[in-house]
Amino acid sequence: MRTLLSEDELTTGVNQLAGEIDQYYGSDRPLTVIAIMTGSLVLFADLIRRLSMPQRVGVIRASSYRGGTSSGDLSVDAEMMIDVKGRDVLLVDDIFDTGKTLDRLSGMMLEFGATSVKTAVLLHKQREHVTKMRPDFVAFKIPDEFVVGYGLDYMDMHRNLPYLAILEPREILETAAHARGEMIAEEASD
């Protein structure tokens, strides 16, 4: 694995992100903070503990049906959503890639009656986006590579890594085996 952002760098970035959000909203105004599952899980847990305003927290699930690492059609599950009517909403996601997820979910929050909607992401991929909207708060800009760790997955694996990394081709095969629940035979050492 090639580390793109170390644990320390992530901590610094998340602290800065929280600082910007705090400054924007202030410490008195109640905020409804929504985690976009599952990728924002780790960021969300760290971020909400660093924000100083009164918060209601909720979750919504979005996933793009992807063949491996490329993006496809978005499916949204709002079953676990909390009421956002008349609330200031902050949507939190792991990464802004094509922009489809946050564009669609921001629209949904307004349809649900939110007073305002802002978006915060850990990562902003430097590539062409298919939407006009851009995230309001961003911790890091990263190159157009598929990354894992700190909540981001490949086949639902690697979310638990405390750092952000790029998988080597060999590790992609290993991950697929682990995702099927298989153990990798130890390579013979010389």
**Selection from 126, 129, 91 nearest residue 108 by Cα:** 91
Q: CB-hemisphere CA count at 13 Å for 12?
A: 6
Question: What SS3 state is found at 47?
Answer: helix
Residue closer to ligand 5GP by CB (options 25, 154) is 154
Angle between helix 7-25 and 41-48 (nearest 10): 60
Picked from ligand 5GP, Mg ion, none, the partner binding residue 59 (CB below 5 to 8 A depending on kind) is none
Closer residue to Mg ion (CB): 13 or 39 = 39
Q: How far is the CB of 39 from Mg ion (least distance, A)?
A: 4
Q: Could you say which of 46, 93, 97, 103 is catalytic?
A: 97
Residue 148 interacts with, from ligand 5GP, Mg ion, none (CB under 5-8 Å by kind): ligand 5GP
Q: Is residue 16 helix, strand or coil?
A: helix
Residue 46 CB neighbour total at 10 angstroms: 18
Instruction: CB nearer to Mg ion: give 19 or 127.
Output: 127
Interface ranges with ligand 5GP (CB under 6 A): 39, 64, 71, 93-101, 146-148, 152-154
Q: Is 97 a catalytic residue?
A: yes
Which residues are identified as catalytic? 97
